[in-house]
């Protein structure tokens, strides 16, 4: 079953890369009492994700804050080390919370997984974005395969 607007996010634990190593972060820590712009990508360092998706949120970070967003979070079925390295390479650490969903548990619980086996990537996340308030999905934008439109930062800003 795919998550939908009005649903509460499932409980999950992500892994965030820090100077001290991977740090577990729960959905409650990230979303409770906050408005969060969350977006998910099929993979760190992949072409669309690196050239357009993540940079769009970096470029508009101040705009999200001005519209009442407490945090911007990026999720990918990658480990914390990869997410930290990707965040460093894109100069987004501090503006965007880079969350590793290493085993895809959160992604599967949302019903938003995809099979990237034909690209040698295994289980991955579909490309999507959502606005979450206090753990409840207020907006959900799932891309059609191969598309990059409704999960973009400017699209989300128009929803706020």
Q: Which of 49, 83, 140, 152 is catalytic?
A: 49
Listed in sequence order, the residues at least 6 apart from 159 whose beta carbon sits closer than 8 Å to its beta carbon are: 131, 139, 141
- 74 is a catalytic site residue: no
Q: What's the CA gap between 37 and 22, in Å, rounded?
A: 22
- Using alpha carbons only, give the angle 150, 78, 95 rounded to the nearest 5 degrees: 60
- Known catalytic residues are 49
């Amino acid at each position: 079953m795919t998550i939908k607007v009005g649903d509460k996010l499932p409980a999950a634990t992500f892994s965030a890369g820090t100077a001290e190593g991977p740090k577990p972060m729960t959905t409650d820590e990230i979303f409770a009492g906050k408005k969060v712009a969350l977006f998910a990508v099929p993979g760190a360092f992949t072409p669309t994700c690196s050239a357009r998706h993540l940079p769009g949120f970096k470029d508009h970070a101040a705009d999200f804050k001005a519209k009442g967003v407490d945090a911007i979070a990026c999720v990918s079925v990658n480990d914390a080390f990869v997410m930290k390295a990707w965040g460093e390479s894109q100069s987004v650490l501090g503006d965007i919370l880079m969350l590793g969903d290493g085993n895809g548990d959160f992604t599967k619980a949302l019903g938003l997984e995809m099979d990237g086996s034909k690209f040698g990537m295994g289980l991955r996340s579909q490309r999507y974005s959502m606005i979450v308030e206090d753990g409840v999905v207020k907006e959900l934008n799932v891309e059609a395969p191969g598309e990059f439109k409704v999960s973009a930062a400017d699209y989300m800003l128009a929803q706020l």
